[in-house]
Amino acid sequence: MAIESEVLVVGGGLAGLTSALAAAREGAEVRLVSYKQSTLRQASGLVDLLGYTPDGDGPLTDPYEAIPDLPTEHPYSTVGVDTVREAMDLFDDVTDYAGGHTDTNALVPTHGGTVKPTARYPRSAAAGLASDDRDLLLVGFDSMTDFDAPHAAAHLEAAGVPFDVRGETIRFPGDLRADAKVTRYAKLLDTNGGVAVRGRERPAREALAQRVNPLVDDEQRVGFPAVLGDDDHAGVRAALESKMGVDVFEVPMGPPSLPGLRLEDRLFAALDAAGASIETGNPVVDYDGGGRVERVYVEKNGAEIPMTADQYVLATGGLVGKGVESDREGVYEPIFDCHVPHSDDRYDWFDTDAFGDHPFAGFGLRTDDELRPLGTDEAVEFENLRAAGSVLGGYDFAAEKSGSGVSIATGYAAGTSAAAEVR
Binding mask 235-264 for other proteins (x = CB under 8 A): --------------------xx----x---
CA distance 9 to 33: 6
CB contact set of 353 (below 8 Å; sequence gap of 6+): none
Residue 197 engages other proteins in binding (rule: CB under 8 A): no
Least separation in angstroms between CB 156 and other proteins: 7
Q: Which residues in the 114-133 window bind other proteins by CB under 8 A?
A: 114-115
Half-sphere exposure of 31 (CA within 13 A, CB side): 18
Q: How do strand 311-314 and strand 136-141 relate by DSSP bridges?
A: unpaired
CA distance 221 to 206: 17
Least separation in angstroms between CB 41 and other proteins: 5
Least separation in angstroms between CB 385 and other proteins: 22
Residue 61 engages other proteins in binding (rule: CB under 8 A): no
Closer residue to other proteins (CB): 59 or 359: 59
Task: Using CB under 8 A, pick the residue from 101, 175, 344, 378 that binds other proteins.
Answer: 175
Closer residue to other proteins (CB): 186 or 248: 186
Residue 196 engages other proteins in binding (rule: CB under 8 A): no
Residue 331, beta-bridge partner list? 326
Residue-wise over 261-289: b if at least 16 C-beta within 10 A, else e?
A: bbbbebbbebbeebebbbeeebbbeebee
Least separation in angstroms between CB 11 and other proteins: 13
Alpha-carbon distances of 45 from 85, 281, 285, rounded to whole Å: 19, 22, 29
Closer residue to other proteins (CB): 87 or 307: 307
Residue 176 engages other proteins in binding (rule: CB under 8 A): yes
- Which range of residues in 68-76, 148-156, 199-207, 208-216 is near other proteins by CB under 8 A? 148-156
CB distance 411 to 389 below 8 Å = yes
Task: Using CB under 8 A, pick the residue from 81, 154, 170, 197 that binds other proteins.
Answer: 154
Residue 247, beta-bridge partner list? 221
Residue 100 engages other proteins in binding (rule: CB under 8 A): no
CB contact set of 275 (below 8 Å; sequence gap of 6+): 24, 29, 30
Closer residue to other proteins (CB): 265 or 370: 265
Q: How do strand 221-225 and strand 136-141 relate by DSSP bridges?
A: parallel
Residue 143 engages other proteins in binding (rule: CB under 8 A): no
Residue 215 engages other proteins in binding (rule: CB under 8 A): no
Alpha-carbon distances of 217 from 106, 132, 228, 369, 410, rounded to whole Å: 26, 18, 22, 56, 47
CB distance 387 to 366 below 8 Å = no
Residue 156 engages other proteins in binding (rule: CB under 8 A): yes
User: Residues in the site for other proteins, rule: CB under 8 A?
Assistant: 1-4, 33, 36-37, 39, 41-42, 51-52, 56, 59, 112-115, 154-156, 158-159, 175-177, 179-184, 187, 255-256, 261, 272, 275, 277-282, 298, 300-303, 305-306, 321, 354, 398-399, 401
